Amino acid sequence: MNKIGVIFDLDGVIVDTAKYHFLAWKELANHLGFEFTEAHNEQLKGVSRVRSLEILLDIGKVELSDEKKQEFLVSKNEHYLQYIHEMGPEEILPGASNLLDTLDDLGIQYVLGSASKNAPLILKQVNLFDRFVGIVDGNSVSKAKPDPEVFLIGAEKLKLKPEQCVVFEDAIAGIDAANAAHMISIGVGDKQTLSKADFNVEDLTEITSGFIKSLITKIETVK
């Protein structure tokens, strides 16, 4: 019987797709006649595709019909997928593969909890798809992060209570979602940005087997 389970965000935790989202959104912004910077792109991390377009249009102070918005959502995704189709296992972020190995060794199962509708494809591109016991992605949820829905469905897939789950996230909305789900939240990236996380690491190379074991003890103690 598993004592804990792990839920991974994808973009920014397992792989860095933000750079490809940036290139595709930037092209759209330029097409619409305004600049879109890396700083602007930060606002789109962890945010759904539809919401990302709304934020981008706000930045450019551009108003569009629903029909045009739909058209640009499709063309942006087609452009983004050109980059995704070029991805391979070399794009897995530092420490991610080792952490999955550590969890396998400890008999701890893990699922994906991502806002991306392209998550299954991305995991296949980097040869990690088969390792997850479940995938919860942008197609499976009705409410986006910071709503906890994505992680609560993840807990169901792990057959665990939310309190037994540990979430790895790089976005503020994701940390908020994990905290709202009463899970242990681990912020991956800038400690100040992710100050609401229960634990913080710069990247997954910092997560040791000893740390995971300490989480098992912690979760056992609160039960």
Comparing CA positions, the residue from 214, 182, 212, 179 lying closest to residue 197 is 179
C-alpha–C-alpha distance, residues 207 and 6, integer Å: 13
Instruction: Please identify, using beta-carbon distances, which residue of 132 and 219 lies nearer to ligand BG6.
Output: 132
Q: Where are the beta strands (DSSP E) in the chain?
A: 5-8, 110-113, 134-136, 165-169, 184-188, 199-201
Near Mg ion by CB under 5 A, which window of 7-15, 20-28, 141-149, 187-195? 7-15
C-alpha–C-alpha distance, residues 205 and 192, integer Å: 19
C-beta of 52: minimal distance to ligand BG6 in Å? 4
What kind and span of H or E run contains 26? helix 18-32
Per-residue x/- track, 52-81, ligand BG6 (CB under 6 A): x------------------------x----
Does 145 contact ligand BG6 by CB under 6 A? no
Which tokens hold the place of 107? Answer: 């008999």
Near Mg ion by CB under 5 A, which window of 9-17, 97-105, 148-156, 187-195? 9-17
Binding site for ligand BG6 (CB under 6 A): 10-11, 21, 44-49, 52, 77, 114-118, 138
Active site (catalytic) residues: 9, 11
Binding site for Mg ion (CB under 5 A): 9, 11-12, 46, 170-171
